[in-house]
Structure 1
Amino acid sequence: MSVTEEQLQALHDFLAGRFGAADAPHCQKISGGQSNPTFFVDYAGQRMVLRKQPSGPILRGAHAIDREFRVLQALAPTDVPVPRPILFHSETDVLDTPFYLMERLEGRVFDDCALPGMAPDERRGIYFAMAEALAKLHSVVPETVGLGDYGRPGNYFERQISRWSRQYKESTGEPIAALDQLVALLPGLMPPDDGKITIAHGDFRLGNMLFHPTEPRVIGILDWELSTLGHPYADLGFCCMPWHTAPDEYGGILGLGTGLGIPGQAEFCAHYYRHVGSDTPLLPFHVAFALFRFAVIFVGIADRVRGGNAVATNAEAVGPLAGRFAARALEVIEGAESHGRF
């Protein structure tokens, strides 16, 4: 999904009106990502990133470009590492869909959770930096940054299970037995609502972190499309998926052993607890819920492949992971039940 010559000219005219006349913008599609098309845009000495909605029909509430921009604006003055937002354009006259611009940060993105080519202590530092960035996000009181109305408070997991179950049922694909089983099981496994409400990223994982070029430090949390007010352990559980998925399942680390230097899930969570100031443990439910939700995200990717408006070049390959992630969620549930943890 690229920008046409006509759209590039329209973008040039738009940027000239905002930043002054300059040479035509240099626009480069960024590979990776499965949702909103993303481009590097250089114009008038500014190095920026452009995010837009995909073309074609989209599900109600999906690809929420406006929400992404709003949360970036709210968090920019805090110590949560986010790119600086520049502008939001709600009309379709330039690129056929709404879009926004943010600053381009120079750093590293890691898609493989095994972090190949790194020394063990470097891998350990990267994982702990991710836990620290999540703790910074969850330490922000939503009302203090103007996000008190960014989502509905309370009963987060109940509403999320309902939402993602509905999205799965609306899929154009074939039923997936493991997902059907999860839809039936998860409501009965929910812990009582403890009232915790934070800004929840919704897709907090290694691949959505931009790290300093040389240091184990997150300089930008990316892809805020699914952010809302929610329970912090929805994000923490999402972070823990690599310990429960194999290397060929979106770059997990299950089965790779302890020689890599990557902390175990319990140690990773303990690091988060220390920085956020909590001693409430993550439950198997939270991990199973995260795997379930990512499975439904994969269902949506497969739907976009069939509809001809998938964003990433590897969308067709990752679509089948829905069944495998659902099966991993069932393994978490079955393992917890066998140890009396549910």
Structure 2
Amino acid sequence: MSPDGLDLTALDAFLRRHVDGYRGGVTAELVSGGRSNLTYRVTDGEHVWILRRPPLGALTPSAHDMGREYRVVAALAGSGVPVAPAVALADDAVLGVPFALTGFVDGIVVRSEDDLAALDDAGVRATAFSLVDTLAALHAVDVTTGPPAELGRPAGYLRRQVERWYGQWQRVATRELPDVDTLHGLLEATCPAESDHAVVHGDFRIDNAILDRDDPTVVRALVDWEMATLGDPLADLALHVVYGDPVFAPVLAGAAASTSPRMPGADELVERYAASSGREPRDWAFHRGLAYLKVAVIAEGIHARHLRGDTRGDGFATVGEATAPLAAAGVLAACG
């Protein structure tokens, strides 16, 4: 029986054509109900892959980009940044939507405070700092040549981000929130003309990393690259810091690992990144404000899909509670 969102008969035919070594008899199970994309563990009994497809229901423009996710993972192969092996990319002719297939990477994913409980305080801090070092390594990838150079248009990135996320808000909003309009105005007025550029993950937080089972300070793979592009690396750092704000917790049904008081504070994370990357956080009020706008819009989009009945799994009922506090926090951040 096919899980919701997959057609195993169609997937079997695709795997036979495009995946070397596939032996037939594919089965799949939903791994994540998709606060963004849907993630499935796919196996033929001998091999294991991860399949990612967009969520069910209507999609917002430029979001849930499977082609982008696949191209980034393929481009980073051999770069020293830990990623899953790229296997295959399908257009919407197979399942009705595009999907990306990667190799399975064994390890642990730390999503909640309960997951953090397996680590002592020193282990939590070491793991958090290792993640920041991995982010700095991503931002050090040469984007002047080879496949990474083809991942986006870095010129004008920040201005496009401001307008893109405000445009997304206008598409997904389920209520009026004046703080969103205020935040957009502040970001428009303070947006830097140009900035550094690097490969930007676009959704960097602890639960988008697969960690080694025996040593969680070792990052086995970064995942969820759907919003990756070439842009300002400080956008990634600011987003990572905002994910640590307690107002984000309802997006992950509360008790999120990223918002745990056991995690290093924002100032410590920024200091570690500066030391590891050699990059100082310029225009920091702007970057934090933009990160809050982005997360507020993401939360509202998830909330809208939940109201339509397009989410799968548990933990979506509280997501809408985060939107207003995130927008308000963004106004304060953008004001410096």
Task: Flag whether TM exceeds 0.5 (same fold).
Answer: yes
Any unmatched runs of 5+ in structure 1? 337-342
What residue is the counterpart of 1:11 in the other structure?
A: 11
| 1:196 to 2:196 alignment | yes
What residue is the counterpart of 1:272 in the other structure?
A: 273
Letter in 1 for 2:274: Y
Per-residue CA deviations over 1:180-199 (Å, capped at 9, x if unaligned) read 22122222233x33530111
* Contact 2:111 2:257 (8 Å CA) reproduced: no
Instruction: Measure the CA separation in 2 of the matches of 1:228 and 1:85.
Output: 17
Cα drift, residue 282 of structure 1: 6.7
Residues 108 and 145 of structure 1: CA distance in aligned 2, closer, same or farther (over 3 Å): farther
Instruction: Measure the CA separation in 2 of the matches of 1:196 and 1:6.
Output: 40
Cα drift, residue 104 of structure 1: 0.8
Q: How do 1:1-342 residues align onto structure 2 when only pairs under 5 Å count? A: 3=3, 7-17=7-17, 18-19=19-20, 22-43=23-44, 45-93=46-94, 95-112=95-112, 115-190=116-191, 192-215=192-215, 216-246=217-247, 248-250=249-251, 251=256, 256=261, 260=262, 262-281=263-282, 283-333=284-334, 336=336
Q: CA RMSD in A?
A: 2.5
- Secondary structure of 2:172's match? coil
* Contact 1:73 1:84 (8 Å CA) reproduced: yes
Residues 99 and 252 of structure 1: CA distance in aligned 2, closer, same or farther (over 3 Å): closer
- Secondary structure of 1:186's match? helix
Residues 20 and 281 of structure 1: CA distance in aligned 2, closer, same or farther (over 3 Å): closer
Instruction: Measure the CA separation in 1 of the matches of 2:9 and 2:56.
Output: 18
- Secondary structure of 1:92's match? helix
Letter in 2 for 1:145: G
Answer with 197-206 or 301-310: which moved more. 301-310
Runs ≥4 residues deviating over 4 A: 252-255
Cα drift, residue 297 of structure 1: 0.8
Q: Percent identity?
A: 29
* Contact 2:247 2:322 (8 Å CA) reproduced: no
Any unmatched runs of 5+ in structure 2? none
* Contact 2:247 2:325 (8 Å CA) reproduced: no
Instruction: Measure the CA separation in 1 of the matches of 2:85 and 2:259.
Output: 35
Answer with 116-125 or 141-150: which moved more. 141-150
- Secondary structure of 1:185's match? helix
Per-residue CA deviations over 1:48-104 (Å, capped at 9, x if unaligned) read 1011123433222221100100000000111001101111111423x2222121011
- Secondary structure of 2:16's match? helix
* Contact 1:246 1:253 (8 Å CA) reproduced: no
* Contact 1:111 1:207 (8 Å CA) reproduced: yes
Residues 32 and 56 of structure 1: CA distance in aligned 2, closer, same or farther (over 3 Å): closer
Instruction: Measure the CA separation in 2 of the matches of 1:211 and 1:255.
Output: 18
Answer with 48-57 or 239-248: which moved more. 239-248
Instruction: Return the TM-score normalized by structure 2.
Output: 0.88
